[in-house]
Amino acid sequence: MSTSPSILSVLSEDLIVRVYECLDPPCRKTWRLISKDFLRVDSLTRTTIRILRVEFLPTLLFKYPNLSSLDLSVCPKLDDDVVLRLALDGAVSTLGIKSLNLSRSTAVRARGLETLARMCHALERVDVSHCWGFGDREAAALSSATGLRELKMDKCLSLSDVGLARIVVGCSNLNKISLKWCMEISDLGIDLLCKICKGLKSLDVSYLKITNDSIRSIALLVKLEVLDMVSCPLIDDGGLQFLENGSPSLQEVDVTRCERVSLSGLISIVRGHPDIQLLKASHCVSEVSGSFLQYIKGLKHLKTIWIDGAHVSDSSLVSLSSSCRSLMEIGLSRCVDVTDIGMMGLARNCLNLKTLNLACCGFVTDVAISAIAQSCRNLGTLKLESCHLITEKGLQSLGCYSKLVQELDLTDCYGVNDRGLEYISKCSNLQRLKLGLCTNISDKGIFHIGSKCSKLLELDLYRCAGFGDDGLAALSRGCKSLNRLILSYCCELTDTGVEQIRQLELLSHLELRGLKNITGVGLAAIASGCKKLGYLDVKLCENIDDSGFWALAYFSKNLRQINLCNCSVSDTALCMLMSNLSRVQDVDLVHLSRVTVEGFEFALRVCCNRLKKLKLLAPLRFLLSSELLETLHARGCRIRWD
Amino acid sequence: METEDDLCHNNWGSSSSKSREPGSSDGGNQTFAGFTSQQKWEDASILDYEMGVEPTLQVFDEMKASGQANVDFLQGVRAQAWDPRTMLSNLSFMEQKIHQLQDLVHLLVGRGGQLQGRQDELAAQQQQLITTDLTSIIIQLISTAGSLLPSVKHNMSTAPGPYTGQPGSALFPYAREANNVASQSQNNNNCGGQEFDLPKPVVVDERESHVVEEHEMKDEDDAEEGENLPPGSYEILQLEKEEILAPHTHFCTICGKGFKRDANLRMHMRGHGDEYKTAAALAKPNKESVPGSEPMLIKRYSCPFLGCKRNKEHKKFQPLKTILCVKNHYKRTHCDKSFTCSRCHTKKFSVIADLKTHEKHCGKNKWLCSCGTTFSRKDKLFGHIALFQGHTPAIPLEETKTSASTSAQRGSSEGGNTNQGMVGFNLGSASNANQETAQPGMTDGKISFEEPFSPMNFDTCNFGGFHEFPRLMFDDSESSFQMLIANACGFSPRNVGESVSDTSL
């Protein structure tokens, strides 16, 4: 360091910033650690941060003065008191924060929320989704953030019209709100929302028990662009008719699984909005009729259409694709009538296709895949789950032509074999590959993947019993950027193979369910190597002994979710895990034969202030102390009794 | 005084011409000549429900009303109110009119035999005519008499004209009314004093008729509002205050016992002898006396409270439909609200039925706005919120109660006013249980990093060192260790539970 005064000193500040921006996130970290210049640049330019340990929050807020987005969704210990202390700490500057993610922060309640809302004056986006205990009081607290533009309240189960009204009145400038699964919301609340928040652009009312009256109110929103109403059981075609003459800016509509919606409802939407870009009508229309196709013809801007589960004949698919040539995404899963003829027509017409979902289209063969691969060179996502007729031939043309494919789902395709994997491996940009239930693949095929698909981020090998340790070793050597790996029920795997996983330093999600051959040694190796591990499933790994769990407790400080069902973990090991894994929020502890009731009591007591979700055997409900259960509940932990 | 007189003059003229209009139209006169009903007249029951009309007026049995004569007469009355000669001529004129009416009724009596075949509505019209004439006679009589009384004279003369600034406020029971009168007088003055052609009630018998002002209407029977009977098409009865408030209205003629309902009285009467047990004695009196037949002139009621909109003096008089309405109206509007709700202790009622209705719903489904207005229905509240900018629904305290009870360990200390419907809301946004928020050392900004939990230490149960850990701002491992320590040292479950609630905060 002292010998050369660093090449960076000759670069001006803005150049360093630009250099820094060009770096990959892992490289950035490295540079940050070795160069003060980059550290300084980072602290000045960083605008978003995701925090796992809330105890660092004040320091981080101090170090990064220009933060605008703060993600606290994975902080297990965030609660009202932490927030209040933060508020009292004068050094903390929260003025610039515009976006706040509090998803799953069930321990923060109205008091903390209000403090946060008052601290962050510039707050524009808040996400409190999956805070299942949230209700009207929390909504009232949030409403003090008057500048709010976007709000996500999915699954705030106790939120009622009153709470919504508080938000609506307090934050009348909202332009995006998601109320998915807020089951208490009724027509009254939606009506008020539409009356007051006239600037609303995006609205999600999925799963709500609202009626056509709500749609009538929604239709009055002049600026509405995106409307999601998945599975609204009370809405029918009559409601959708209001949309025909209302909401002139509408561009995206999702009516998936609305039981009472039929084609005529869709037609009325389409008739009123010739500029619509996205139409998701999966599992609600039974068939695509000629009259619908007539109206579809007028949609020059349609980019996405999902008609999963409908009876789509080849001829209608061809005419659909010929009228909407700009289609980029089409969802045809469970459209059992689709055959190669229709697919070839689609391939001929829609050259810009990027996403194609053909899951469970049993009659689609290699011919269709070849046609798609040859015509649609931009194809990025291809889902072929349960297309049993697909063989290596189809995959060969994919490997030849579809160089841009990033996501490939071949789950449950019998026809996929080692040769097929060899072809697939030519898709060098592949990031997500699902090969679950493909029993015909062996180490050889996996070796091809491991050696060529270096950009792979996710790999699903669920129940691929044909490959073993060598294949896994090849993967671990080649796919260094893997962060999600599913090896459940790959029974051939032993410690030797699993130990290799430790080379995957970026791995954060690992499923090892049902691997009877691995022991504590394998788990210890994984724990020591994969520092980023956040999710671990070792259900039914009966031979992992306490040494493995000790190691896990020692190394995996970032573990957030763990499934220990049917493991032979002992009382002490469980206590160790629960006390030392200080980020653990979601634990499954079913059928632990070696753990006593006292062991459970101990283990849960040490982590009761950070658990969000817990799965236990039902009899424990009466054996655990009531104080413990009350505390868990009060902290917003939801217990599933199995 | 000249102008005032003119104003009064106009006023009176117009009001009397109004009063004659419905009854004394040409058609009415024609039918009147032909058919009458003596029996009907008997049943007209002015006496039954003590009207403001004095019973002696029955002496004036018959008089043919002439609209024009009426107007002339009244103009005469007003123009020369202070002249005894005018008074005399007035009286003789009235006598003349009464004689006319008498003749008419005689005629009707004479033709009584032909009655049976006649149509009901003709009879009704006749009765209506006679009533109208009678009432106009009464008006004349009263106004004639009224002009002799100095205080009334003053009142009558000042009210329609500009307020003269005399210490007249003594005449007004409330200062507010006095102000109203004043402002109204101003208005009238501005409009040139010709604005008095307002609908007037048929019967004008009260001295302070000009003090009639908008009286606050509260709990009125809404059904009444829609009714739009032309003045004079109904007969107005006015009960006295004492009678309205009397607990019993039907009294046994033999023993004097009082009853609320005449049906109960009839039941009671059976005990006084067999003659009261006949079907005729037990039947409803009204139905019985008019067996088939002609509907009586519609009866409407006036509230005896002066200045009330339900009082016949009021410019926009709206009559009450039944005696029950009168009773409820009088109690609700002009009586003390002596019944208090036993649940919320705030709402008061003067009619016990209202109290019972309220108590049924008190505390349930109270939808409260931040402005303090309560609604029984949620949609009404939301309509209110949509209408008024900045209003928000208040979150009921019950909810905070439950959420507080779920966070058992938080030791919430919220107020205990649960069942006070009105008070039981948390208007402020979020004032949860207060906790000790400040921790010693938190301002130091120090942060303790967690140490890995050593397995060795755990096995030997050697936790001594952990006690030395200072309790710092975001320290989260320590509490866990305390838990372990607590358990390891064999604390009883109760104590452990407390330590949970302490440390997990």
The pLDDT tens digits for A311-340 are 999 999 999 999 988 999 999 999 999 999
CA proximity to B234, closest of B294, B298, B296: B298
A578-594 as b/e, with b when 16 or more CB fall inside 10 Å? bbbbbbbbbbbbbebee
In one-letter notation, the amino acid at residue B432 is: N
Task: Report the share of chain B in percent with pLDDT over 90.
Answer: 2
Q: Which of B395, B495, B501 to probe by mutation at the A interface, max A CB count within 10 Å?
A: B395
Q: Which two tokens stand for residue B259?
A: 């009853």
Predicted confidence at residue B24, as pLDDT, reads: 40
Q: Which of A101-115, A457-471, B85-99 has the lowest mean pLDDT?
A: B85-99
**Among residues B443, B451, B504, B502, which one has the least CA distance to residue B473?**
B443
User: In this complex, which of A137, A607, A627 lies closest to B400 when CB atoms are compared?
Assistant: A137
Give the pair of three-digit tokens for residue B443: 């301002």
A99: closest CA among A137, A73, A132?
Answer: A73
- Cβ-defined contact of B430 to A137 (cutoff 8 Å): yes
Q: How do beta strands B425-426 and B258-259 pair?
A: unpaired
Q: Is the pLDDT of residue B323 over 60?
A: yes
Taking a C-beta distance cutoff of 8 angstroms, is the pair A335, A316 a contact?
no
Give the closest-approach CA distance of A607 to chain B in angstroms: 7
Q: Where are the alpha helices (DSSP H) in B111-221?
A: 120-146, 150-158, 175-190
Q: Do A85 and B439 touch (CB under 8 A)?
A: yes
Chain B residues touching A604 at Cβ < 8 A: none
**Mode of pairing for the β-strands spanning B348-349 and B367-368:** unpaired
Say if residues B309 and B318 touch (Cβ distance below 8 Å): yes
Q: Are residues A103 and A133 in contact, defined by beta-carbon separation less than 8 angstroms? A: no
Q: Which amino acid is at A455?
A: K
**Residues 104-133, chain A, touching B (beta carbon < 8 A):** 109-111, 113-114, 133
pLDDT of A52 > 60? The answer is yes
Q: Is the pLDDT of residue A548 over 60?
A: yes
Which residue in this structure is represented by tokens 């409307």?
A: A227
Of A546, A492, A489, A535, the C-alpha closest to A510 is A535
Q: Coil, helix or strand for A162?
A: helix
- The reply to whether residue B504 touches residue A608, judged by beta carbons under 8 angstroms, is yes
pLDDT in tens, A147-182: 999 999 999 999 999 999 999 999 999 999 999 999
Buried b (16+ CB within 10 A) or exposed e, A335-351: bebbbbbbbbbbbebbe
Smallest CA–CA distance, residue A604 to chain B, in Å, is: 10
Q: Which of A165, A606, A627 sits opposite B497 (nearest CB)?
A: A627
Query: Which residue has better confidence, B83 or A472?
Result: A472
Residues of B within 8 A of A554 (CB-CB) are 452, 455
Query: Is residue A509 pLDDT above 90, yes or no?
Result: yes
CA distance B449 to chain A (A): 8
Q: Using DSSP, state whether A555 is helix, strand or coil.
A: helix
Of B390, B429, B477, the CB nearest to A144: B429
Amino acid at B196: F
Question: In terms of DSSP H, where are the helices of B365-504?
Answer: 378-387, 397-406, 455-459, 477-488, 493-503
Query: How many helices (H) and strands (E) would you count in chain B?
Result: 20, 10
Report the range of poorest mean pLDDT among B108-117, B370-379, B442-451. B442-451
Q: Mean pLDDT, chain B, as a whole number?
A: 59
CB contacts, 8 Å: A607 with chain B: 480
Q: Whose structure tokens read 């599933």?
A: A640
Helix (H, G, I), strand (E, B) or coil at B121: helix
Share of chain B above pLDDT 70, in %: 39
Q: What is the pLDDT of residue B410?
A: 38
In a 13 Å sphere around the CA of A288, the CA atoms on its Cβ side amount to 29
Closest chain A residue by Cα to residue B394: A162
**Complex ipTM, two decimals?**
0.85
For A218-236, give the secondary structure using H, E and C: HCCCCCCCEEECCCCCCCC
- CB contacts under 8 A, A 577-636 vs B, are 579-580, 582, 601-602, 605-610, 625, 627-628, 630-631, 633-635
Task: Assign domain A536-641 to its CATH superfamily.
Answer: Ribonuclease Inhibitor (3.80.10.10)
**Which pLDDT tens digit goes with each residue over B324-365?**
888 888 888 888 888 888 888 888 888 888 888 888 877 766
Top-confidence residue, A434 or B311: A434
User: How many residues in chain A?
Assistant: 642
Question: Do A46-185 and A536-641 come out as alike in CATH topology?
Answer: yes
Q: Which residue of A has its CA nearest to B449?
A: A55
Biggest CA pair distance of chain A:
78
Interface membership of A535 toward B (CB under 8 Å): no
Q: In one letter, which amino acid is A85?
A: R
Across the interface, whether the CB atoms of A55 and B473 are under 8 A apart is answered yes
As a whole number, mean pLDDT of residues A492-518 equals: 94
Is the Cβ of A195 closer than 8 Å to some Cβ of chain B?
A: yes
Q: Which of residues 175-194 of A touch B (CB under 8 A)?
A: 188-189, 191-192
Q: Span B270-277, mean pLDDT?
A: 83
Where residue A181 falls (left for φ over 0; alpha for ψ -120 to 50; beta otherwise) is left
Which of B414, B410, B397 is closest to B502 using CA atoms? B410
Cβ <8 Å between A165 and B435? no
pLDDT of res. B361: 77
pLDDT bin (cut points 50, 70, 90) of residue B175 is very low
| Partner residue opposite A161 with nearest CB, options B382, B390, B447 | B382
Q: Report the pLDDT averaged over residues A490-497.
A: 93
State residue B132's pLDDT score.
79
**pLDDT tops 90 at residue A478:** yes
Q: For chain A, give every domain's residue range.
A: 46-185, 536-641
Strand partners, A126: A100, A151
Across A378-387, B219-228, B280-289, B412-421, which has the greatest mean pLDDT?
Answer: A378-387
Instruction: For strands B374-375 and B367-368, give the pairing.
Output: antiparallel
Residue of A nearest to B444 (CA): A89
Q: How far is B373 from chain A (nearest CA, A)?
A: 15
Q: For residue B429, is it left (φ>0), alpha (ψ between -120 and 50) or beta?
A: alpha
Give the residue, B109 or A76, on which the prediction is more confident: A76
Rounded to the nearest integer, the mean pLDDT of chain A is: 92
Which of B385, B403, B435 is facing A192, going by the closest CB pair?
B385
pLDDT value, residue B446: 37
Ordered alpha helix ranges (H), A197-310? 212-218, 237-245, 263-272, 290-296
Q: What does the pLDDT look like over A564-592, one tens digit per residue?
A: 999 999 999 999 999 999 889 999 999 99
Chain B interface includes A17 (CB < 8 A) = no
Please say if the pLDDT value at position B222 is more than 70: no
Mean pLDDT of A63-74: 89
Higher pLDDT, A111 or B294: A111
- The tens digit of pLDDT for each residue in A181-236 reads 999 999 999 999 999 999 999 999 999 999 999 999 999 999 999 999 999 999 99
Residue B156 contacts residue B43 (beta carbons within 8 Å): no
- The CATH number fitting domain A46-185, selected from 3.80.10.10, 2.70.70.10, 3.30.365.10, 3.40.50.300: 3.80.10.10
The pLDDT of residue B27 is above 60: no
pLDDT given at position B192: 41
d(C-alpha A482, C-alpha A504), whole Å: 7
What separation in angstroms does the CA of A505 have from each of A477, A482, B245? 11, 8, 91
C-alpha A248: how far from chain center: 31
State the virtual CA torsion across A271, A273, A278, A280 in degrees, nearest 10: -40
Q: How far apart are CA A230 and CA A225, in angstroms?
A: 16
pLDDT in tens, B119-147: 666 677 777 878 877 887 887 777 766 66
* A38 or A186, which is more confident: A186
Spatial CB neighbours of B407, under 8 Å, sequence gap ≥ 6: A109, A634, B433
Q: At what angle do helices A443-452 and A469-478 cross, to 10 degrees?
A: 10
Q: Evaluate if residue A524 carries a pLDDT over 70.
A: yes
With contact defined as beta carbons under 8 Å apart, do A461 and A484 qualify? no
Q: For chain B, what is the largest distance between any 2 Cα atoms, rounded to a whole number of angstroms?
A: 128
Among the listed residues A409, A403, A450, the one whose alpha carbon sits nearest the alpha carbon of residue A429: A403
Q: Are β-strands B425-426 and A407-409 bridged in parallel, bridged antiparallel, or unpaired?
A: unpaired
Distances (CA, A) of B36 to A226, A340, B117, B407: 79, 100, 12, 84
* Separation in Å, CA of B345 to nearest CA in chain A: 26
C-beta atoms of B442 and A550 within 8 A:
no
Pick the residue of A111, A159, A173 with the most B CBs within 10 A to test the interface with B by mutation: A111
Q: Do B408 and A630 touch (CB under 8 A)?
A: yes
Residue A92: pLDDT band (50, 70, 90) is low
To the nearest whole angstrom, how far is the Cα of B372 from the nearest Cα of chain A?
Answer: 15
Kindly report the length of chain B: 505
What lies within 8 Å, CB to CB, of A426 at 6+ separation is: A399, A400, A403, A452
DSSP state of A311: B
**pLDDT higher than threshold 90 for residue B488:** no
B137 vs A416: CA distance, rounded Å: 112
At residue B320, the 3 state secondary structure works out as strand
Token pair of A625 as six digits: 């102390």
For the segment B150-176, the average pLDDT, to the nearest whole number, is 42
Of B128, B102, B94, B101, give the one whose Cα is nearest residue B19.
B128
Measured CA to CA, the distance from residue A462 to residue A72 in angstroms comes to 32
Residue A635 to residue A295: CA distance in whole angstroms: 53
3-class DSSP assignment, residue B237: strand
Residue-level pLDDT at A514 = 94
Size of interface A-B (CB pairs under 8 A): 170
Contact B284, B302 (CB under 8 A): no
pLDDT of B278 higher than 50: yes
